[in-house]
Structures are given as structure tokens and as C-alpha cells.
Amino acid sequence: MAIIIEKADMIATISIDCPPVNAISIADYAEIADTFEAAKDWADINCIIFTATGSKAFCAGLDLNEFLAATLDQDPARARIVRRCFAAVRHAAVPVIGAINGPALGAGTVLASVCDIRIASENARFGMPEINVGRCGGAAHMMRHLPQGLLRQMYFTGQPISAAEALQCGFIQKVVPFEDLAKSARSLAEVIAAKAPIGLRMAKEALNKVEFMQTEDGYQLEQSYSTTLMATEDAREATRAVVEKRPPVWVGR
């Protein structure tokens, strides 16, 4: 099994488990996609922490032994599975926090990029070394986060950037010691998970839809989500709770 799932207190932790360095096969890509697609039906979950086991790597990328054995005619079908995996994480129904516990290379960097928020351990680094193995990397995903010059430098050289550099350019939101990573990600997830379930899901969908829209059109769409939310019981409860200075009680409708 490539994936470990744990649920508690409205938070799911989804961990890649492919020791020693969490390099993933095509079957692993499919399992990640299946897991995140299934999470759309997890009514007991308001936030997902996406991480990996061990301390050697978050994800060292594609399993190169499997890649060497693949034939040219297999590549389009394999590519479809990879795209489905990244899309499933990016379009997860609830916010996804990437807890990056070590180097994220190739597919690992893209998996980090499709999370909503990223917290990294100090030993993490991010790179697209595909040029070193005769491939093109995930620049289309990384362009959402990195300046063009830095992206192209990483793409053409295959050289990674450190967690500190990723923080400086805004790709990572926080860097912590390795031993504090799980606690830090959990603390943030608890804040998010306490929000209204419908509100979180609609906010996530709205953000994904407006990301590449023209500003005024995007804001109009965002307002339409607000109008839809206004009709829910939880939205009214949120306002009442603020006015009455008490914690809200969500009913999920």
C-alpha cells in the first residue's frame, strides 16, 4: 500500500508510504488519485494534511526503475494517470495542507504545489530534475507559484532550492524543524477544520475557479458563491455566533 489514511477531529492525514525515499510508481499515482477523489465524500473531514512517512524524503519523484522499463507506446496512458493524480489533490473538496517532511523532487515538488498551503521541515528541498533523465517536469503547475526566472533556472539546471529559498519566494508558507512539522501542520489544520463545512468546501471551489479569471469576472463569480452560502443555516449561525461572542455550532446545511 502506498497510502496511509488517518482520521480524527475533522482532519484526515494522508501519507505517502513508499520507503525508503517515497519514490512513486504509476500504481501509486493512481492510488493517490483514488484517495483524494474518495475524500470528496468524507463528510466527517474538513481539512486534509498531505505528508509522507520517514525523514528521508517527502517524495523523490517517479520510480526510475519502472520508468526505464516503460515503452514509448505506454507513455500517453501513464501521463493521463499522473495528470489525474495532480488534479485530484488540487481539486480536493476541502483545504489541503502539505506537510513536506523532506526533499520533494520531480513529482514530489508538483504534489507539494497542488496543495493549498505548504509547511516544510528545514531539511526539505524542491527541484525539477527531469532534464537529467530525459523528461520535462511540472512547470505548468509550478508557474502558479514561482517567478519565471527561478522556475526556468530550476527547470534547465535540475538543481533544487532549499526550504529557506522556497519560503523566501512564497512557495512555502512556513519552515519548521523536522520534529515540529507534524505539530505545526496539525495546529493549522485544527484552525481550518473548525470552520463551517459548507463554507470551506465552497471557498475551496471558488478559489480554484477564480484563480485564472479576469479580476472583475472572478469577483463576480466569488460573490455568487457568497449569495449561495447566505442561504445556508451555517452561514446564519456564523454571523449569530460572532454577534453573540460564542463558538458556532455547525449543522452542515
Query: Which 3-state string (H, E, C) describes 99-131?
Result: EECCCEECHHHHHHHCCCEEEEECCCEEECHHH
Q: Has residue 83 got a pLDDT over 80?
A: yes
Contact, 50 vs 89, CB < 8 A?
Answer: yes
Q: Record the pTM.
A: 0.92
- CATH architecture for residues 3-193: Alpha-Beta Complex (3.90)
> What are the domain boundaries of the chain?
3-193, 197-244
Q: pLDDT digits over 121-155, tens only?
A: 999 999 998 888 777 878 999 999 999 999 999 99
Q: pLDDT digits over 24-66, tens only?
A: 999 999 999 999 999 999 999 999 999 999 989 999 988 777 7
Which residue pairs from 225-230 have beta carbons closer than 8 angstroms and sit at least 24 positions apart in sequence? 228/202, 229/198, 229/199, 229/202
CATH node for 197-244: 1.10.12
